[in-house]
Structure 1
Amino acid sequence: MKCREKNTAIFLIIIMTMCMVLLSSCMNISDDSEPISKTEYMLGTICTITVYDSESETAIDKAFSRIKEIENKMSVNKSGTEVDKVADASGKDFVKVSDDTFYVIKKGKYYSGKSGGVFDITIGPLVKLWGIGTDRARVPSQQEIDEKKSLINYKDIILDEKDKKVMLARSGMSLDLGGIAKGYSADEAVKILKNNGVKHAIVNLGGNILTINGNLDGKPWNIGIQNPFKARGSSVGTVGVTNKTVVTSGIYERYFEKDGKRYHHILNPFTGYPMDSDLASVTLVTDISIDADAMTKNIFYLGLNKGAEYVKNIPGLNAIFITKNKEIYVTEGLKNDFQITDSEFKLLHDIK
């Protein structure tokens, strides 16, 4: 079995270097700018915040403190979090949670419903079973998968709005907010930066990117779009954005290989196996990162045609679709903003 392990020091250094090269090569900033950039490992990924109009690191430090605060409440990779406590009390009792955690769970339940359960934040037992992205990744038996699937149902999340309490209706259930917490963290980090006077910045939380205004020249930021068939840091093109979030989900993020087959981390709660569509990745461009974060999984599941139809019906939402046969489609609102840079890919504008 070959497995990608992101927690080794060497791998982190390589990824950090790739991310910085990608961002620095893709952004239109004036030559005399002296940005301040800081990178931390949080939320299970590399997080980089770069500020272009401030000489103080205080704003960045405050933003990272906010991200750490959210991680300590919601991470499934830490013990004693609020998410852990909700799981421990599943089928028994309500758990009082912070405003942050209640908001994200409520938002997650909403998008779980909007997707018809394709994106379901109660997928925790299945995610833990597969262990993709950890050193215990494996292909479970069908019996194991069926047992964990039976515990997945966002309708079994009971919310007490008045007292900010949460309960999972059945014993053994657990939440996994990994598909939405990064987006929330990005939104909150940007709030902190703005409150501290920052007017030009990029927050990159492992592929969840959120920009503040444009660059110092008054032009849009050019953000690299990940090549889903290569290691993180390789782009297929760039998209120009101002005050937007750019969020990508794809088969490249976390995976392992067994007997020549690749198993990626985007799990289908109905089959219990990794999702299978005609897409290698989908990138959403919109205003709020938590919304984009939640929607990418559903759109990835829907595939090119149905996914494009879904995007078309959401005001202010645009998308870049990359298919498994290396074709790129962009929705109407991005046709003048996306530039392809990799000749292995073919840019097609018409989505049938």
Structure 2
Amino acid sequence: MIDLLKAKKLIFLLVIVISSFLIITGCGRDSGADIQSAEDNSFIMNTLVQMRAHGENAEIAVEESMDRIREIEYLMSRTLEASEVSQINDNPGEFIEISEETQKVIAESLYFAELSSGKFDPSIGPIVDLWGIGTEEARVPSQAEIEEVLEFVDYNNLEIEDNRARVTKEGVKIDLGGIAKGYAADEVREIVKKHDVPSAFINIGGNVLVVGNNVDGSKWRIGIQDPRRGRGNVMAIVESKDQTIVTSGDYERYFEEDGEHYHHIFDPESGYPARTGLLSVTIITDLSLDADALSTIAYVKGLEAGMKFVEDIADVDAMFITEELDVHLSSGLTGIVEITGPDFNLIEGENFAD
């Protein structure tokens, strides 16, 4: 069953650790000393949101960014009764007027569903509810229960028409959790740029996005979490500027029962947590919304199919970590990723694209 003590410790660890994925390079004694800075840590979208900005308008950029993330949560959370997503789920067959923001995210979720042949599916809600992973009601459902709700997991039952959307079948429940955090991070970047803030990072539950360089002029150093250990333990470092780094792994939300590990990344076809021999997949690209969806898709597809999928998309790179602790990099990351974990093996020279 769920380790409740571990769950209670999680929030505490999140507060004291700047980021499980982000290592901030130290500034020189004089470098950046006179630059205004602002930061905030808030619990939004069911996760810890951490932001830091450096520049003349840093404070207003951080404040506005946090408010924007709350607005997105209010629109797209499936657990808030008044949200637009909840209104869609609670009124099957009826078109619900939605905001431009929700319209965009739903449209993008359908795009990635088509692109991945259903490996990413915004109608995964019934499976999420059945397993209850991340709640005190987490359990292993029976095969019969899974088969019963799989009838409702089909993104073709979600329709969007201009500023309206609906599910066409009672029992279908959409869940934008696999893409909404990425959209929120992209919105933060626009706010930061609007206020001419030259240096900032945002971490929304592991969805990391950096703007510009670090305050000392160097690139941001992004640490990739060791998937076997707690937050703050990294196994690789990537230097980055104006990019997003998003990781999907089997260690973020999970429970154990009878010696089995059950995580929250579901295969929409089977209704079970994806079993592909992977511990995590990290996507590095420009748009956090894309990275959010792509990390899930690549994880569910597995190493070979996932790598082929990523290599076919321009300006997207990925790092796969297998259960054997082998690290596989897409072609664009060769020579860029620094492996710091002594137990990990960097596998180079493989080509899954053929």
**TM-score for both structures, normalised by structure 2:** 0.93
Deviation larger for 233-242 or 33-42? 33-42
Q: CA deviation at 1:3?
A: 3.7
- Please give the alpha-carbon distance, in whole angstroms, between the structure 2 residues aligned to 1:295 and 1:5: 32
Kept in 1, the 8 Å contact 2:278–2:299? The answer is yes
Q: Which residue of 2 aligns with 1:27?
A: 25
What is the number of equivalent residue pairs in this alignment?
347
Q: SS at 2:18's partner residue?
A: helix
Kept in 1, the 8 Å contact 2:211–2:241? The answer is yes
Q: CA deviation at 1:81?
A: 0.9
Q: Which residue of 2 aligns with 1:64?
A: 66
Q: SS at 2:302's partner residue?
A: helix
Q: CA deviation at 1:234?
A: 1.2
Cα separation, partners in 2 of 1:109 and 1:242, compared to 1, 3 Å:
same
Q: CA deviation at 1:214?
A: 1.5
1:187 matched to 2:189? The reply is: no
Q: CA deviation at 1:19?
A: 3.4
Q: Which residue of 1 aligns with 2:47?
A: 45
1:138 matched to 2:136? The reply is: no
- Please give the alpha-carbon distance, in whole angstroms, between the structure 2 residues aligned to 1:122 and 1:66: 25
Q: CA deviation at 1:21?
A: 7.8
**TM-score for both structures, normalised by structure 1:** 0.94
Q: SS at 2:17's partner residue?
A: helix
Aligned counterparts, 1:223-262, within 5 A: 223-262=222-261
Kept in 1, the 8 Å contact 2:199–2:214? The answer is yes
Q: Which amino acid aligns with 1:223?
A: I
Kept in 1, the 8 Å contact 2:221–2:239? The answer is yes
Structure 1 alignment gaps of length 5 or more: none
Kept in 1, the 8 Å contact 2:2–2:136? The answer is no
Q: SS at 1:63's partner residue?
A: helix
Structure 2 alignment gaps of length 5 or more: none
Kept in 2, the 8 Å contact 1:4–1:133? The answer is no
Instruction: Kindly provide the CA deviation profile for residues 6-38 of structure 1, in whole angstroms up to 9, marking residues without a partner as x.
Output: 874x43121222334863x44354444354321
Q: SS at 2:283's partner residue?
A: strand
Q: Which residue of 1 aligns with 2:197?
A: 198
Cα separation, partners in 2 of 1:82 and 1:21, compared to 1, 3 Å:
closer
- Please give the alpha-carbon distance, in whole angstroms, between the structure 1 residues aligned to 2:5 and 2:176: 21
Kept in 2, the 8 Å contact 1:126–1:272? The answer is yes
Q: CA deviation at 1:55?
A: 6.5
- Please give the alpha-carbon distance, in whole angstroms, between the structure 2 residues aligned to 1:80 and 1:210: 29
Q: SS at 1:12's partner residue?
A: helix
Question: CA RMSD, aligned part only?
Answer: 1.8
Q: Which amino acid aligns with 1:311?
A: V
Instruction: Kindly provide the CA deviation profile for residues 71-112 of structure 1, in whole angstroms up to 9, marking residues without a partner as x.
Output: 01111232221111001111x311001111111011101101
Q: Which residue of 1 aligns with 2:285?
A: 286
- Please give the alpha-carbon distance, in whole angstroms, between the structure 1 residues aligned to 2:78 and 2:106: 14
